[in-house]
Amino acid sequence: MKSIVKLEHLSHKYSSAWAIRDINMEIGNTGIVGLLGSNGAGKSTTMNILCGALNQTEGNVFINGINLREQPELAKQQIGFLPQTPPLYMDLTVDEYLRYCAGLRQVPKEKLKPAVKEAKERCGIDHFSNRLISNLSGGYRQRVGIAQAIVHRPALVVLDEPTNGLDPNQIIEVRSLIKEIATDRAVIFSSHILPEVQILCKEIKMIENGRIVFSDTMDAFNNYVEPHSMLIHLENPPSAAELAAIPGVTKVAFLTERQVRVHFNGDQDITEKVVAISIQKGWRLREISLDKSALDEIFKQLSSQNPQSHH
Ligand SMILES: Nc1ncnc2c1ncn2[C@@H]1O[C@H](COP(=O)(O)OP(=O)(O)OP(=O)(O)O)[C@@H](O)[C@H]1O
């Protein structure tokens, strides 16, 4: 895999406590990678270091093979960053602001105009060129934030919780914009909302207490968190032994006379089997529902295992 980002043993402490500890990861050249973690897990710290906005206590960041600490200017040319609090200047117009950002990112003068135009077009804000940023809605401000992150055509764009604080329609729009800008570059995107990462990302890195606790493809993650138990309500229930004899069932526990929790191995066709057998044997099935793991439970489960045991 050709990688745009490589983090090696990255650790950071703000004062006495470690905010992140021994983070290692590699990220490919296109597509969206999700950094998922609860509040305070260490997402912003990782992203700020990776973009050169914060100096790490230990470890190395390589952007396209360039050591960020040794050649910050060269490395930063390849990075676009939208921090959690977008650095917008409210009293500038969209054009003025994007021109200013492109200048900061060392876009040559003669290329300034086309660079700003392209970023505006890709982010759907062309018609607001002369509008003051203070007069834009939250969703459009976020588009301007994303436009400043791509104005110098970086190979990597880092977005720290870009949908935070937006209303549901704006979230959908910003998501499709993120998908669009990831077609020809790598995007790293952080969130504390699992379904958001599931919708957008091809890879997921889960961070908890400053450590990576899961790192794999989205498919592997979905497979991992698939339910392994279900709740069944039967009007005419059989014995526990009879339920336990269904192929794939690993444990049976009656909660009441008619309600039973059935644990099973990875086989996701189990519900169909239970429904079929129940009809055949006259158990009179009233209700069947898979137990979905809540995100905080998944985090707890993953963090209690060896860090970085999933690659
Ligand atoms: N400037 C700072 N000074 C001291 N401690 C900090 C500072 N910034 C963050 N921390 C601490 O470092 C840890 C990681 O914080 P970080 O902001 O990276 O997490 P996060 O996953 O981005 O969370 P959030 O979604 O709340 O921003 C937290 O315990 C936080 O309190």
Banded pLDDT at 305 (limits 50, 70, 90): low
Q: Which CATH number fits domain 3-224: 3.40.50.960, 3.40.50.2300, 1.10.287.130, 3.40.50.300?
A: 3.40.50.300
- How close is the Cα of 39 to the center of ligand 1, in Å? 8
User: What is the share, in percent, of the chain residues with pLDDT greater than 70?
Assistant: 93
Q: Which CATH number fits domain 229-292: 2.60.40, 1.10.10, 3.30.310, 3.30.70?
A: 3.30.70
- How close is the Cα of 44 to the center of ligand 1, in Å? 7
Residues 147-156 have pLDDT tens digits of 999 999 999 9
Least confident of 88-92, 184-188, 264-268: 264-268
Cβ–ligand 1 contact at 65 (below 6 Å) = no
Q: Is pLDDT of 17 > 70?
A: yes
* Pocket perturbation via mutation, ligand 1, pick of 12, 18, 45, 188 by most ligand atoms within 8 A of CB: 45
- How close is the Cα of 271 to the center of ligand 1, in Å? 42
Q: Whose CA is nearest to atom 13 of ligand 1?
A: 19
Cβ–ligand 1 contact at 11 (below 6 Å) = no
- How close is the Cα of 84 to the center of ligand 1, in Å? 11
180-195: b or e for each residue (b if 16 or more CB lie within 10 Å)? ebbeebbbbbbbbebe
Q: CA of 288: how far to CAs of 222, 241, 247, in Å?
A: 21, 19, 17
- 148: CB partners within 8 A, 6+ apart: 80, 82, 86, 87, 97, 98, 101, 119
What average pLDDT score do residues 182-202 get? 91
Sequence ranges of the domains in the chain: 3-224, 229-292
pTM (2 d.p.)? 0.80
Cβ–ligand 1 contact at 152 (below 6 Å) = no
Banded pLDDT at 39 (limits 50, 70, 90): confident
Select from 92, 101, 181 the least CA-distant residue to 131. Answer: 92
Residue 271: the pLDDT is 86
Across the chain, mean pLDDT equals 90
Residues 95-148 have pLDDT tens digits of 999 999 999 888 999 999 999 999 999 999 999 999 999 999 988 999 999 999
Q: Is pLDDT of 236 > 60?
A: yes
Q: Whose CA is nearest to atom 23 of ligand 1?
A: 40
Banded pLDDT at 311 (limits 50, 70, 90): very low
Banded pLDDT at 221 (limits 50, 70, 90): confident
Q: Is pLDDT of 307 > 50?
A: no
Cβ–ligand 1 contact at 41 (below 6 Å) = yes
Nearest-atom index, ligand 1, CA of 210: 14
Q: What share of the chain is helix, strand, coil (3-state, %, to 5)?
A: 35, 30, 35
Q: Is pLDDT of 68 > 60?
A: yes
- How close is the Cα of 46 to the center of ligand 1, in Å? 10
Residue 11: the pLDDT is 97
Q: Is pLDDT of 216 > 60?
A: yes
Banded pLDDT at 52 (limits 50, 70, 90): very high
- How close is the Cα of 11 to the center of ligand 1, in Å? 13
Residue 265: the pLDDT is 82
Cβ–ligand 1 contact at 191 (below 6 Å) = no
Q: Is pLDDT of 286 > 70?
A: yes
Banded pLDDT at 85 (limits 50, 70, 90): confident
For β-strands 285-290 and 229-234, DSSP reports them as: antiparallel
Residue 303: the pLDDT is 64
- How close is the Cα of 265 to the center of ligand 1, in Å? 38
Distance, C-alpha 141 to centroid of its chain: 21
Residues 263-283 have pLDDT tens digits of 888 666 888 889 999 999 999
Q: Whose CA is nearest to atom 5 of ligand 1?
A: 14
What average pLDDT score do residues 163-179 get? 89
Residue 308: the pLDDT is 46
Top pLDDT among 1 and 34 is at 34
